[in-house]
Amino acid sequence: MSTPASPDSQSGSTVQADLEITYTLDVVARVCGLSSETLLEYHEQGLIGPVTVDQTGLCFDDGTIHRLRRIEHLRSSYDMNLAALKLTLSLLDEVEQLRAERRQRV
């Protein structure tokens, strides 16, 4: 159950009642060194998703920042296009899920 977030207008971050911090599109773009347009393109292509949508727009968490850094690493190191990124990220997500399931069984 999610509780309403309280925005911090100066930092561009939002603190959820369960202490999960979320960030606005502009803050994430600045932290990752990407344009807001690039983030919106990644969102439209399904590479990233917002954690919440509030009065300020799309809000993202630390997991999204980690995923964006992974995306940019793949793009710069392997010159991947969006289709290749989508497939690679899907496979990496599946590997992480299988590893988590395996750890739970052990």
Which range has the worst mean pLDDT, 14-18, 56-60, 88-92? 14-18
Q: Are the beta carbons of 24 and 57 closer than 8 angstroms?
A: yes
pTM for this predicted structure = 0.79
pLDDT in tens, 1-56: 344 445 555 666 665 556 789 999 999 999 999 999 999 999 999 999 989 998 88
Question: What pLDDT is recorded for position 3?
Answer: 41
What residue spans of 1-106 are helical by DSSP H?
A: 25-32, 36-44, 62-78, 82-105
Per CATH, is 6-105 categorized as 1.20.58.100?
no
Question: What pLDDT is recorded for position 15?
Answer: 58
